[in-house]
Amino acid sequence: MHVPIQHIVGTLALIGLMISVGISYNIFITNVETDIRQKQLEQISENVALNLVELMNLAKFAQYGSSGYMMKAFYLPYDLSGRAYAIQIVSDTRGWGYVHAFLATQPSVYADAQIPFNSGETQIKLYTATDPIQHVQIDSTKIACNGTAYGGNDILVWAQQAWVEPYQINIGIGWVEAT
């Protein structure tokens, strides 16, 4: 049986074409999935930032008379299409705060949302990811507070006002501790 060289070259070319189409498809799909996850992380970081500002403003205008904690629980998905993610409060060198959301397995996929606060005369203290964990009890809820949280529906933002000199509002994110 005699097979001409043209058939061998043609078959190899078709196999190579099929492999390159498969690789191109995988690259395209991976890029689309990364863009979708990044948009989801943007929504999550903006949601957390807005909840922080809302609670901070409530703490600023509430008159407890002494140090008091406020909290607001909200829902965040456990994962993004099977990928775990983390949320951190970060403070940059200028003192601005922002929420940094990223995939735990792929930190290069992230989104940031600035925390837009205008403190006026009240000082704002952000509990960032570098601060130690605080354990707080608000009513009957035990909370572990620092600047890092992971997806789930037991995420909350908290604020504490201290109306003694110097006037200060502490804000951060945390999670409900298991009892």
Helices (H), the chain: 5-61
Tell me: the pLDDT tens digits for 113-155? 988 776 565 677 887 777 777 777 666 777 777 777 887 767 8
* 3-state SS string for 118-136: CCCCCEEEECCCCCCCEEE
- Bridge partner list, 149: 87
* C-alpha–C-alpha distance, residues 144 and 178, integer Å: 10
- Domain boundaries, position 106: 5-176
Residues found in the chain: 179
For residues 48 and 115, the answer to whether their CB atoms sit within 8 Å is: no
Tell me: the pLDDT tens digits for 67-122? 577 888 888 888 888 888 989 888 876 667 889 999 988 889 999 998 877 656 56
As for how many domains the chain has, the answer is 1
Tell me: the pLDDT tens digits for 5-52? 888 899 999 999 999 999 999 999 999 999 999 999 999 999 999 988
Average pLDDT over all residues of the chain: 82
| CA distances, 127 to each of 55, 70, 148 (Å) | 14, 15, 9
* pLDDT at 28 (0 to 100): 95
